[in-house]
């Protein structure tokens, strides 16, 4: 009976009592195989750990090893209602602008004078606050300069807690995204923000007021050394107050940074150094 014989062969292959072999190998042969693989994997794990360790030693916690050389920072505006860049409200409907005032309150509260005084230094204005490391000696943690909320005057929310929204003269606040190591102005010239209407809306935008004066980002807030090195860093802000914007119409506005040491936003990155948004103030006459 061939069938029985096949079954016998198969059983014998699993366990052969005669030669005391399991799956064709003796216990010591199996033992050696296991030992070999065990040592092999321990060796691999060791190699991996050693390589990781050596690589991590070369990283600096305080600054990125690689950073894109194109450093035109993006700009953002506050209040940010949602992802759409529009601020639309009705003067007579408190609930339509109250959220903007609240968003600005939240955004500005870390800039309260008391907090800034506690966390940051009074720096010398109009020059870079350089705190470089000397060779291998790290100059950490690095200090940061005070940006008092009251610098924003009429747009600080201190005197006018609704930021002008209630009388059709709203404030928006602009910040420049952080770029580590950026020195935005040459020859002591601070970068400044200007806002204007898109062509078709140029007669609707009206007068604007900038805070601080001329819409400048003071040089003392640069260079920025990164979140880990400069823990208390407060980004400088510029506020724009629209004094006489045409109501009941869309006004498309673009604000941009003017600086003599920031590369102009190249074509492929339209958002570099500028921000656009729509402002519409409705009112019932
Ligand atoms: C900042 O000041 C405002 C009043 O000017 C106050 O309502 C707010 O609670 C303060 N925020 C913090 C975080 O201290
Ligand atoms: C910030 O405000 C505090 C308290 O009002 C003041 O002592 C400090 O000098 C101000 N700092 C700057 C840089 O203006
Ligand atoms: C950061 O702020 C805290 C207070 O909130 C202060 O004790 C600390 O010295 C500051 N650190 C630096 C590096 O400025
Ligand atoms: C604002 O700019 C004008 C001219 O560009 C200049 O004369 C004035 O001193 C500047 N004001 C401030 C506070 O920087
Ligand atoms: C406000 O703008 C209107 C045109 O939109 C103009 O007629 C008026 O003179 C401006 N008022 C002031 C105070 O500039």
Say how many Å lie between the CA of residue 232 and the centre of ligand 3. 6
Q: How many angstroms does the Cα of residue 97 sit away from the middle of ligand 5?
A: 23
DSSP 202: T
Mark whether 240 and 128 lie in a shared domain. yes
Range(s) of the domain holding residue 53: 2-57
Q: Is 158 a domain residue?
A: yes
6 and 115 housed in the same domain: no
> Ligand 2 center to residue 117 CA distance, Å?
6
Ligand 3 within 6 A of 232 CB?
yes
Q: How far is the centre of ligand 3, averaged over its atoms, from the C-alpha of 236 (Å)?
A: 18
In this predicted structure, what is the pLDDT of residue 1? 43
Q: Is residue 69 part of a domain?
A: no
Contact 252 CB / ligand 2 (< 6 Å): no
Tell me which residue of 31, 162, 176 sits closest to 104, measured CA to CA.
162
| pLDDT tens series, the chain, 285 aa | 445 556 667 787 888 888 888 887 888 888 999 999 999 999 999 999 999 999 888 877 766 666 655 567 888 999 986 677 899 999 999 999 999 999 999 999 999 999 999 999 999 999 999 998 887 777 888 999 999 999 999 999 999 999 999 999 999 999 999 988 889 998 889 999 999 999 889 999 999 999 999 999 999 999 999 988 999 999 999 999 999 999 999 999 999 999 888 776 555 566 678 899 999 999 986
Q: Are 158 and 149 in contact (CB under 8 A)?
A: yes
Query: Atom 5 in ligand 1: which residue has the minimum CA distance?
Result: 158
Q: Of 213, 218, 236, 260, which is best to mutate to test ligand 4, by the most ligand atoms within 8 angstroms of its C-beta?
A: 213
Same domain, 87 and 125: yes
Residue 32 domain flag = yes
Are the CB atoms for 63 and 225 separated by under 8 Å? yes
79 C-alpha to center of ligand 5: Å? 25
Locate the ligand 1 atom nearest the alpha carbon of residue 112 and give its number. 1
- Tell whether 157 and 264 lie within a shared domain: yes
CA distance 239 to 110: 16
| Single pTM value for the model | 0.80
In a domain, 129, yes or no: yes
Q: Are residues 181 and 247 in the same domain?
A: yes
Q: What is the distance between the alpha carbons of residues 277 and 172, in angstroms, rounded to a whole number?
A: 11
Domain count, the chain: 2
What are the tens digits of pLDDT across the range 193-233?
A: 999 999 889 999 999 999 999 999 999 999 999 988 999 99
- Give the CATH number for residue 220: 2.60.40.1660
99 within domain boundaries = yes
Residues 17 and 113 reside in one and the same domain: no
């Amino acid at each position: 009976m061939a069938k029985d014989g096949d079954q016998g062969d198969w059983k014998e292959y699993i366990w052969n009592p005669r030669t005391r072999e399991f799956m064709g190998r003796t216990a010591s042969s199996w033992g050696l195989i296991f030992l070999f693989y065990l040592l092999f994997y321990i060796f691999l794990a060791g190699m991996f750990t050693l390589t990781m360790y050596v690589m991590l030693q070369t990283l600096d916690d305080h600054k990125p090893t690689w950073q894109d050389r194109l450093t035109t920072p993006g700009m953002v505006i506050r209040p940010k209602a949602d992802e759409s860049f529009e601020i639309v409200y009705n003067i007579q409907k408190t609930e339509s602008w109250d959220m903007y005032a609240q968003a600005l309150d939240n955004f500005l509260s870390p800039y309260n004078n008391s907090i800034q005084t506690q966390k940051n230094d009074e720096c010398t204005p109009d020059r870079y606050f350089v705190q470089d490391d000397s060779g291998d000696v790290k100059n950490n943690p690095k200090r940061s300069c005070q940006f008092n909320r009251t610098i924003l005057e009429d747009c600080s929310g201190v005197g006018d807690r609704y930021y002008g929204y209630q009388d059709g003269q709203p404030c928006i606040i602009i910040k420049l995204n952080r770029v580590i190591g950026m020195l935005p102005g040459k020859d002591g010239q601070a970068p400044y923000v200007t806002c204007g209407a898109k062509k078709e809306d140029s007669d609707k935008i009206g007068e604007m007021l900038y805070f601080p004066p001329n819409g400048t980002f003071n040089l003392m807030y640069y260079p920025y050394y990164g979140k880990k090195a400069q823990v208390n860093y407060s980004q400088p802000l510029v506020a724009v107050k629209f004094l006489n914007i045409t109501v009941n119409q869309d006004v498309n506005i673009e604000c941009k940074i003017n600086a003599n040491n920031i590369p102009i936003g190249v074509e492929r990155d339209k958002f570099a150094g500028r921000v656009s948004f729509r402002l519409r103030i409705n009112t019932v006459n």
